[in-house]
Amino acid sequence: MPESSNKYRLGFFTFAMITASIMISLRSLPSQAVTGMNILFYFAITTAGFLLPMTLVLKMFGCAFPVEGGLYAWVKESFGERWGFTAIFIQWMHLIIVSVLLLSFISGAIAYLFSPELSENKLYILAVSLIFFWSATLISMRGLKVSAKISTFCVISGVFIPALVIISMAVLHLATGHLPQTDLSFTYDNIVPDLSSLAALSMIAAFVNPFFGIEASAAHLGDLKNAAKNYLPTLVIGGLFCVLINILCSLSIATVIPAGNISFVNGLLQALEMLFNEMNAGWILLVVILLIMFGTIGEINSWILAPARGLTLTARRGTLPPFMQYINDNEIPAHTLIVQAVIVTVFCLIFALIPGVNSAYWVMLSLLTHIYLAAYLILMASAIMSRKRLFEANNYHTRAKKVLFGIAVILGIITILFMETVTFFNPENISSGYELIYAASMFSGMIVIISVPLLIYSVRKPEWKVEDTDITGNDSVN
């Protein structure tokens, strides 16, 4: 597609905020807080084993191929259209399931503010979820400029400000003479969990979830000013804020609330209520919950466009029917967004109306986590396959830089495989005796979901293709 001369370009700050809004969420704070000072160990492992290697790989791809499409474009360069489509399809499916979770959280937050009993009303949850998602979809169709402004406002007001309030409350709690409810001493025994326990090892996988989506903003890389130079700093900013906010806010909750009273099942809202009640500042709770809702809306808003743009690019290469190829006057894949909203609507109906759906929901979310790790594994393999082109584009001509690249990729692959393994065989909330059934179900589900894009690709029709040129301007494997 020819590039418009008046095409909106993302600045460094705006792109960094989009990346941050996708990565940073306060919803998982209670489940992290129950681990106390172990959180330092878990984030150290996941940062070193996943975040840093992934950041390096993304930076190298961003310099070599600073184009629209992100994950799809990069995997396609290494393994061809089939696997590029598979990778973006996995990311898209992850968005759909995560959207249901985020929408449920927004619905619960509104009910918590005005009428807590509504949080048990499935029709209410369904109505609020659909209103928010379809509204966000329609807003996204107005263009990247509008969407980016909303994401920037929401991540500042709905993530950074509430995080600062939560941390300040914990500091005030200690400054006024209260004893911390968790041991904050920096000792080996206090920070490092029992590594002989599979349960402790499996917790590592839970701490990598905050980093999921670090690559999603690359779908807009073609719109970033001076992408080859600016992409890495935006990744660093997003990753740094993600680690700091999760650690400091989780420890803040653990400092004020006893571990036995922290319920990650009931979620963030109850934890915040306990936090502010402990400080006799319950009136602040309403403001903070309202701001956190803005943060969640920003997260949904940023996610909506990211995989949809990559999916539309592969559609225009003939993978999907012409209906999915339409791009409106604002350069937004409008039809893909509509299909996406319809599928989210179906999932919202399923999870809101079917009795006893919670267990199925968490199993599905766990399955999508496994699948997303598979997408990252594909990306790491793509980096190995395209290493010569990555070295050339990033001036990696010395042996030391090439060795660094090799260590990072291998470490990332090992970490991903480790997380896949421990979460397969030691899942949370699974009754004793059902572990093998769970593992078999997860493995079968992964095969099915990965098979869907491969099956779609195999039945594509030649007349669907509307673009003959490679989006990166290079020949690639078909």
Q: What is the pLDDT of residues 6-63, one digit of tens each?
A: 667 888 898 998 888 888 888 778 778 888 899 999 999 999 999 999 999 999 998 8
Q: pTM of the full predicted structure? A: 0.85
State mean pLDDT over 314-325.
89
Answer with the residue of higher pLDDT: 186 or 276: 186
Exposure string over 137-170, b if 16+ CB within 10 A, otherwise e: beebbebbebbbebbbbbbbbbbbbbbebbbebb
* DSSP letters for 52-114: HHHHHHHHHHHHH---TTTHHHHHHHHH-HHHHHHHHHHHHHHHHHHHHHHHHHHHHHHHHHH
Does residue 425 contact residue 198 with C-beta atoms inside 8 Å? Answer: yes
Asked if residue 124 has pLDDT above 70, the reply is: yes
Beta bridge pairs of residue 10: 224
Q: What is the DSSP string of 250-294?
A: HHHHHHHS-GGG--TTT-HHHHHHHHHHHTT-HHHHHHHHHHHHH
Q: List the structure tokens of 293.
A: 């809702």
Q: Within a 10 A sphere around the Cβ of 79, how many other Cβ atoms?
A: 19
Asked if 324 and 339 touch (Cβ cutoff 8 Å), the reply is yes
Tell me the mean pLDDT in the region 167-172: 86
State the number of CA atoms in the 13 A half-sphere of 52 facing the CB: 14
Task: Tell me which H or E stretch contains 120.
Answer: none
Distance from C-alpha of 78 to C-alpha of 257, rounded to nearest angstrom: 49
242: exposed, middle or buried (Cβ count in 10 Å: 0-12, 13-18, 19+): buried
Task: Specify the pLDDT at position 96.
Answer: 87
Q: What is the pLDDT of residue 330?
A: 84
Query: In the predicted model, what is the mean pLDDT of residues 254-278?
Result: 71
* pLDDT surpassing 80 at residue 406: yes
Q: For residue 80, which of 464, 422, 454 has the smallest C-alpha distance?
A: 454
- For residues 306-316, average pLDDT: 88
* Per-residue model confidence (pLDDT) at position 1: 45
Q: For residue 263, what pLDDT is reported?
A: 60
Higher per-residue pLDDT: 476 or 257: 257
> What residue spans of 357-434 are helical by DSSP H?
357-385, 387-393, 399-425
* pLDDT of 137: 92
**Lowest mean pLDDT, pick from 69-83, 310-324, 362-376:** 362-376
User: Facing residues of 224 across strands?
Assistant: 10
Side-chain-side CA neighbours of residue 95 (13 Å): 30
The yes or no reply on domain 12-461 and CATH 3.40.47.10 is: no
For 9, residues 6+ apart whose C-beta sits below 8 A from its C-beta are 223, 224, 225
Please give the DSSP secondary-structure letter assigned to residue 476: -
- The pLDDT value recorded for residue 473 is 46
Using CA atoms, how far residue 338 sits from 144, 193, 324, 325, in Å, is: 16, 46, 9, 12
Look up residue 350 and give its DSSP letter: H
* CA separation for the pair 194, 300 (Å, rounded): 36
Half-sphere exposure of 172 (CA within 13 A, CB side): 12
Say yes or no to pLDDT of 165 above 90: no
pLDDT for position 475: 44
Residue 412 pLDDT grade (very low, low, confident, very high; cuts 50, 70, 90): very high
Q: How far apart are CA 383 and CA 406, in angstroms?
A: 10
Query: 290 is written with which tokens?
Result: 């309202």
CA distance linking residue 383 with residue 378, whole number of Å: 9
Query: pLDDT at position 478, please?
Result: 47
Question: Is 203 or 156 the better-scoring residue by pLDDT?
Answer: 156
Instruction: Write phi, then psi, for 256 (nearest 5 degrees).
Output: -95, -35
Mean pLDDT over each residue of the chain, to the nearest integer: 83
- Taking the C-alpha atoms of residue 7 and residue 478, their distance in angstroms, rounded to an integer, is 30
pLDDT at 200: 74
Pick the more confident residue, 349 or 407: 407
If one counts every other C-beta atom within 10 angstroms of the C-beta of residue 368, the result is 22
Query: Residue 177 has what pLDDT?
Result: 82
- pLDDT at residue 477, rounded to an integer: 43
